[in-house]
Structure 1
């Protein structure tokens, strides 16, 4: 049995539903769950917007000290900090699940994951690097950004259950309990930099370089897209597009490829038009504007979180505070 899951708060359920829809079409044998970093107490969705997939609320999976974690992190940090805990939950709750796959909610899966599942028979873990070839300009993001934010993109990671992966995930849990911050001067960028250790701690790790995996704004310099005769999206003419990661895309600003990059304008990449039109329409249909009105119940106002971090820094050297000031 294979489980795939994503993590989000209520405000991102349109993305999670779009991902789930794509998995239901391409991989109906995989059980899909949404890890919900939010509470459904008192929430009543309109009939058209009740998710078809199980929502596993974060308070139900038994994270020790979760309330302290939620007070420590902003919404991005918190949603990434709980990732290894959900892996533990699924491996323990469903003993028959030998393989568990994580996808960020802003992903569409376009093909059966048969090769990934086959690779997990041989390898204990699979990750994808942000880039596989050099970047020839100084735009954002470039190699320096990836050195700061992690070699591998944690919008996707897959594990086969084994004593070694269980130990790694437990180690990862403890790192993210306190150190899942966006604090680049501390060498931290949520959960990603910790994953640099994965191929070292689990030697039987596959670094998947197939360009059909985890295509996104950060690797578009090396990937170009087309539609085959059967309607299948292809990458660099020879590779089926397995999944596309629409990180930083907002259907309210449909001409902006991603808010996190300045390398490409969507209007300048006709090969991407169909992919982004499909995603925009899917998010609208799945209630993007409807779910956006729900604030995450665990997140304190930004001003309060900012104060807590500044108070923590008062115990540290002045130069450290100066170096960190741009991260808040």
Structure 2
């Protein structure tokens, strides 16, 4: 059985549910440890009593060192700070041999065992996935070569050494801007293949498809199975996707082929809408997940540039 962990609050709860159910749909044998970053998220998930899921609250997870830095970081920055600590907490608390952290806005299309089989065959202790940026969207210098989206650690000396180093760096500095070669929790990973023994970089292109690299792949529905460049698509990272109270859908800031919108985004939007409706039926208090329009001049200018470049993926109805 493969062990996964993730973290999110009520604002990402519908995304987290879609990710969890996409894992179920692949038929893989797994258990997901969800670190709920607010009480509403924890209460709803525990009420749902979903199979193959363990919910961990902030009260069960946070320690003194995390609480010391919490006040000085934004909500996003604190989540990034906590990612490595969530991984370490899950390994220790649940006595796991290994665990893979998943971003909540992933969606799975085939068994992630294909990615983990590659990792296990390598004999490594840490698995990294590259951004694999399309040339025109290459942000490696500021955002990093590797993406936190799907990262695995073995509970062994090499895995714990890399994880412990990462935890310390994130406590020292983890902010949503580039400074002195650092950005959030992610830029720290750039040096790992040289810094630590036992680090494997995923080669399977089906793991790591995302809006910043999908332009260089051919996406197809091959006998009811999605493939990219004839390789089974394992997961897609719906980074930048937003939805609004008036029903508007914003697919993000990258150029997307119509086939990508049809095969990936339309079904994902339907799944998110269904999850939102379910959550609203479970809790009258639930009104989370919706984005607000930025009405500033700079935001309006940015939207104009996106329109001119064909990157304005905003739809009243999709």
Of the candidates 272, 275, 288, which is equivalent to residue 264 of structure 2? Answer: 275
The one-character-per-residue Cα deviations of 1:170-226 (angstroms, maximum 9, x if unpaired) are 111111113111121343321100111221233322211322111111112212211
Distance 1:46 1:100 in 2: 21
Contact 2:45–2:55 (Cα < 8 Å) also in 1: no
Aligned with 2:217 (options 223, 236, 252) = 223
Structure 2: runs of 5 or more not aligned: 290-318
Per-residue CA deviations over 1:37-69 (Å, capped at 9, x if unaligned) read: 22359x86499x846233211231242322222
The Cα shift of 1:160 comes to 1.9
Give unpaired runs (5+ residues) of structure 1.
Answer: 296-328
Structure 2 equivalent of residue 326 of structure 1:
none
CA distance in 2, matches of 1:109, 1:123: 24
TM-score by length of 1: 0.77
Counterpart for residue 176 of structure 1: 170
Larger fraction in strand: 2
1:201/1:269 CA distance change after superposition, 3 Å: same
8 Å contact 1:254–1:280 — kept in the other structure?
Answer: no
In structure 1, the partner of 2:81 is: 81
Pairs aligned (count)? 278
Q: Per the alignment, do residues 112 and 192 of structure 1 end up closer, same or farther by CA in structure 2, a change over 3 Å counting?
A: same
Aligned to 1:118: 117
- Find 1:233's aligned residue among 226, 232, 257: 226
**C-alpha distance in 2 between matches for 1:186 and 1:51:** 44
Q: In 2, distance between residues paired with 1:45 and 1:36?
A: 10
Task: Check if 1:187 corresponds to 2:181.
Answer: yes
Comparing 286-295 and 200-209, the one that deviates more = 286-295
Residues 27 and 82 of structure 1, relative CA distance in 2, 3 Å threshold: farther
Contact 1:99 1:120 in 2 (8 A): no
Please give the alpha-carbon distance, in whole angstroms, between the structure 2 residues aligned to 1:207 and 1:98: 20
Shift of 1:277: 1.0
Higher relative contact order (CA 8 A, sep 6+): 1
- d(CA) in 2 for partners of 1:292, 1:193: 35
State the secondary structure of the residue aligned to 2:241: coil
Q: Is the 8 A contact 2:115 2:207 kept in 1?
A: no
Whole-angstrom CA distance in 2 between matches of 1:284 and 1:103: 21
What corresponds to 2:15 in structure 1? 15
Partner of 1:57: 57
* Cα distance in 1 between the residues matched to 2:107 and 2:33: 15
SS at match of 2:130: coil
Q: 1:99: Cα distance to partner? A: 2.1
The answer to whether the Cα contact below 8 Å between 2:175 and 2:183 also exists between their aligned partners in 1 is yes
- Is residue 126–residue 152 contact of structure 2 (8 Å, CA) maintained in 1? yes
- Distance 1:185-1:177 versus aligned 2 partners, 3 A rule: closer
Say if 2:28 and 2:113, in contact at 8 Å, map to a contact too.
no
| Map 1:86-97 → 2, pairs under 5 A | 86-95=86-95, 97=96
SS at match of 2:200: strand
Taking a change above 3 Å as real, the CA distance of residues 151 and 44 of structure 1, as seen in their structure-2 partners, is: closer
